[in-house]
Amino acid sequence: MSLNNKVATKFPNLKPRGPGGEALLNAERAKTSFDVKELSKFMYTEKWLDKMNKVLEVITNEPAFDKSGRYYQSRKDKIATGLWKDKRMIELAREHMWDEEDSRLANFLYDQSTPFSLHYGMFIPTLMSQTTDEQKKLFLEPALKHEIIGCYAQTELGHGSNVQGLETTATYIPETNEFEIHSPTLTASKWWIGGLGKAANHAIVMARLITDGKDLGPHPFCVQIRSLEDHRPLAGITVGDIGPKFGFNSVDNGFIMFDHYRVPHVAFLAKYSQVKASTGEYSKPPNAKLSYGTMVYVRANIVMGVRYALAKAATIAIRYSTVRQQFVDAASPKKWDNKVIETPVLDYTMQQYRLLPIVASAYACFFTGREMLRLYDLNQEAMKNGNFTLLADLHASSSGLKSLTTTMAVDSIEECRRACGGHGYSNFSGLGQFYQDYLPNVTWEGDNYILTQQTARYLLKTFRNVVAGKAEPSEYNQTITYL
């Protein structure tokens, strides 16, 4: 006789010792000196909140957006459900006639990166900002319609922060009016590229432009890497997934190598710099940092996203600290219905010391992030008119703030986890996997130590110019105005 031990556990119908968590939370919320809903309207606007609630109402009942099984999923399952969600979101956008902001809100509420995240976050923004009208029709329009899915291939196995050290080459061939993209060494392999492992069939490839025998440094190319018929890698392409990571396992980070791979002349993104067809004559951009525009955009959005990371971690830890009770204060015992109860952890000064500065930081980063994006938008408008004076200050500001704010966020998430005691170590606290998935922010788009040094160097250079009388205050350079 076989033994069947797969019997569901039956829990006794026990209630928590009173007062319950809901009662403790309500008691704390009753002490609030301001209207929470009015504060939300002030920060986000009523229009944005209404939009968010409408999107939330749609996705709440969508199985593809279900979060309940996340902590049980394998990496393979995470990527599969991410692709399911990405596909379903495209369908929902059509069914409900969502605009771009509605789709962003759906991604925001899903609260987990997916294989298509880099398509929206880096591939499309690069095509928007660094292409000619011809290239917009050829690449951007299909990308917006999801006829092609892309990623951003810059980082290599051998080089990350040192963009100028990238090894992948793109040599212009005048006889055929093509570029030959090649990985000359193992360390030239593009590595860590989100969306590349499984999803992407196109990539923005940063490669060293070589024309007329001259190495002109990294430039962006839009390159098809997989067949649009069967998704197989094209001849001359070796591409795959890099495997499990410390976190962020819902994204298919991949690698790619090129073996003398030919792409047409139009693949070279030519809004700011050009290579003349047939002759290979090079026209340099008005500013050397223009090709890094996507990185500045992503850094600005990382700064913007820090507020949510801080707010999420603080919300979990503070709510937990409100309902978690430990010890009785003999000198000043807490009472509930005239009975002495254990003290909520949040009432202890040490817990407030640990958590309340994180709440303050979340508000500070909210307004800092908004100002960062305002500067980015101001720079975009200025560049349309040929004004590049803000670019250097924007680059330095986004670098410094990305470093500062993401370091604050990572430290705060871990502090919040530890403030939840043993329960913080459970995945169900919402903090463990959150920490793992957020942690790459201190490394990608520039290692935080390197970015801090770059910002310091810019500040010293600007200070010397101010002292020497070579710099004038301008709305396009807040650093000069401040100094």
User: Mind telling me the catalytic residues?
Assistant: 445
Two structure tokens written together for 413: 């998430």
- Residue 32 buriedness (CB in 10 A; 0-12 / 13-18 / 19+): exposed
What whole-number distance in Å separates Cα of residue 407 and Cα of residue 384?
33
Helix or strand or coil: residue 82?
A: helix
Tell me how far CA of residue 311 lies from CA of 187, 239, 436, in angstroms: 39, 38, 17
- Mention every residue, 6+ apart, whose C-beta is less than 8 A from residue 219: 170, 206, 207, 208, 209, 268, 269, 273, 291
CA distance 97 to 140: 20
DSSP conformational letter for 250: T
* Radius of gyration of the chain, Cα coordinates, nearest whole angstrom: 26
Specify the 3-state DSSP secondary structure of 109.
helix
CA dihedral (129, 130, 136, 140) positive or negative: negative
Q: Where are the alpha helices (DSSP H) in 61-137?
A: 75-95, 100-110, 117-118, 124-130, 133-135
Report phi then psi at 18, rounded to 5. -75, 160
How far is 9 from 29, CA to CA, in rounded Å? 36
On the question of a cis peptide bond just before residue 244, with omega within 30 degrees of 0, the verdict is no
Alpha carbons 153 and 267: distance in angstroms, whole number: 14
Are 197 and 204 in contact by the 8 Å Cβ rule? The answer is no
Residue 329 DSSP label: -
Cα separation, 252 vs 77, in Å, equals 12
> In this structure, are residues 152 and 203 in contact, taking their beta carbons and an 8 Å threshold?
yes
- Give, in degrees to the nearest 5, the angle at Cα 299 between 243 and 450: 80
